[in-house]
């Protein structure tokens, strides 16, 4: 599958994919009540913090460190997702949250895509409030995260790659940041807010438009790129957008700003 699929495509292939609802909110609201209030028929709900992030006592590795491959696999198995199941994921934010799952699956060679436009693409009259029938038990093989697609905080500090920050322009520039201890960005980073790739309906820009956006940040077909955000979630949407534009593959800094800003020895930029 391509990294983004339309609602029309989903309707045509509905029986061939597992549909996953991943609603998660920066302000701390739980996503499950929103799912229970109305979701696309047949979609199962996935808790980002339980399946797509490792448990941790502090945020020294970031607010959403990557889970172990075993934790990721067992979380998917609990939803009835196996090695042979293609996945389409959505949220109510144009895919910037659900992108974390899609990128993780694609990184290990699994067939996965974002529903372009997410929940907005589905008629509100056809949203369900009941839980779908549980899927049969499944086996999902734990696979190591590909080292060539990830970077550490020290890699970022030494990199000559183009470093792009997916957060909004205010947080990048050093405006109020209620989530992390210091405001600003990693020195040398270019601000490419991933939400600006979306039109008013929450759908991804065309490959041509994305190539223009990335070109303005100094990114061309052969440019090595590292993507980060607040905690390694919305950065994945930029990685999928790069793929959609025919660029990349690029690499993810999972710790992102939430790790960098917690290390007092790391410099920050605000311009």
Domains in the chain, ordered, with CATH? Answer: 4-126 (3.40.250.10), 147-260 (3.40.250.10)
Residues 203 and 210: their CA atoms lie apart, in Å, by: 12
Question: Is 211 within 8 Å of 160 (Cβ atoms)?
Answer: no
Q: Residue 184: what pLDDT? A: 97
pLDDT band, residue 249 (cuts 50/70/90): confident
pLDDT band, residue 271 (cuts 50/70/90): confident
Given a cut of 90, is residue 118 above it in pLDDT? Answer: yes
- Average pLDDT in the 140-161 region? 98
Tally the residues of the chain. Answer: 271
Given a cut of 90, is residue 23 above it in pLDDT? Answer: yes
Q: Mean pLDDT in the chain?
A: 96
Active site residue 236: no
Q: Residue 130: what pLDDT? A: 85
Q: Residue 199: what pLDDT? A: 95
Residues 89 and 103: their CA atoms lie apart, in Å, by: 11
The catalytically annotated residue of 104, 229, 235, 236 is 229
Given a cut of 90, is residue 3 above it in pLDDT? Answer: yes
pLDDT band, residue 86 (cuts 50/70/90): very high
Q: Residue 186: what pLDDT? A: 98
Given a cut of 90, is residue 131 above it in pLDDT? Answer: no
- Average pLDDT in the 126-139 region? 89
C-alpha to C-alpha distances, 20 to 16, 41, 259, nearest whole angstrom: 13, 10, 28
Given a cut of 90, is residue 132 above it in pLDDT? Answer: no
- Average pLDDT in the 98-123 region? 97
Contacts of 123 (CB under 8 A, 6+ apart): none
Greatest distance between any 2 Cα atoms in the chain: 53
pLDDT band, residue 63 (cuts 50/70/90): very high
pLDDT band, residue 169 (cuts 50/70/90): very high
Tokens representing 96 are 């910037």
- Average pLDDT in the 237-257 region? 96
Of 19-33, 39-53, 57-71, 129-143, give the lowest mean pLDDT range.
129-143
pLDDT band, residue 218 (cuts 50/70/90): very high
Given a cut of 90, is residue 133 above it in pLDDT? Answer: no
Given a cut of 90, is residue 191 above it in pLDDT? Answer: yes
- Average pLDDT in the 56-64 region? 95
Buried b (16+ CB within 10 A) or exposed e, 110-121: bebbbbbbbbbb
- Average pLDDT in the 156-163 region? 98
Of all residues in the chain, the percent with pLDDT exceeding 90 is 95
């Amino acid at each position: 599958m391509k990294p983004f699929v339309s609602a029309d495509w989903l309707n045509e292939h509905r029986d061939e994919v597992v549909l996953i609802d991943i609603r998660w909110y920066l302000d701390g609201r739980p996503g499950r009540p929103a799912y229970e209030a109305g979701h696309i028929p047949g979609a199962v709900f996935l808790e980002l913090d339980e399946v797509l992030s490792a448990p941790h006592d502090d945020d020294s590795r970031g607010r959403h460190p990557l889970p172990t491959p075993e934790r990721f696999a067992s979380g998917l198995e609990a939803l009835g997702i196996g090695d042979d199941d293609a996945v389409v994921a959505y949220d109510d934010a144009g895919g910037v949250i659900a992108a974390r799952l899609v990128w993780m699956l694609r990184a290990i060679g699994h067939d996965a895509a974002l529903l372009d436009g997410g929940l907005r693409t589905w008629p509100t009259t056809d949203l369900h409030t009941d839980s779908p029938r549980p899927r049969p038990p499944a086996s999902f093989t734990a696979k190591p995260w590909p080292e060539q697609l990830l970077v550490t905080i020290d890699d970022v500090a030494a990199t000559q790659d183009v470093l792009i920050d997916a957060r909004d322009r205010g947080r990048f520039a050093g405006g109020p940041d209620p989530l992390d201890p210091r405001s600003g960005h990693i020195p040398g980073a270019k601000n490419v807010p991933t939400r600006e790739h979306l039109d008013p309906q929450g759908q991804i820009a065309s490959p041509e438009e994305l190539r223009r956006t990335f070109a303005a940040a100094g990114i061309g077909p052969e440019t090595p790129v590292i993507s980060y955000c607040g905690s390694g979630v919305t950065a994945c949407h930029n990685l999928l957008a790069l793929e959609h534009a025919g660029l990349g593959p690029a690499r993810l800094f999972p710790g992102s700003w939430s790790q960098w800003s917690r290390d007092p020895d790391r410099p920050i930029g605000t311009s």
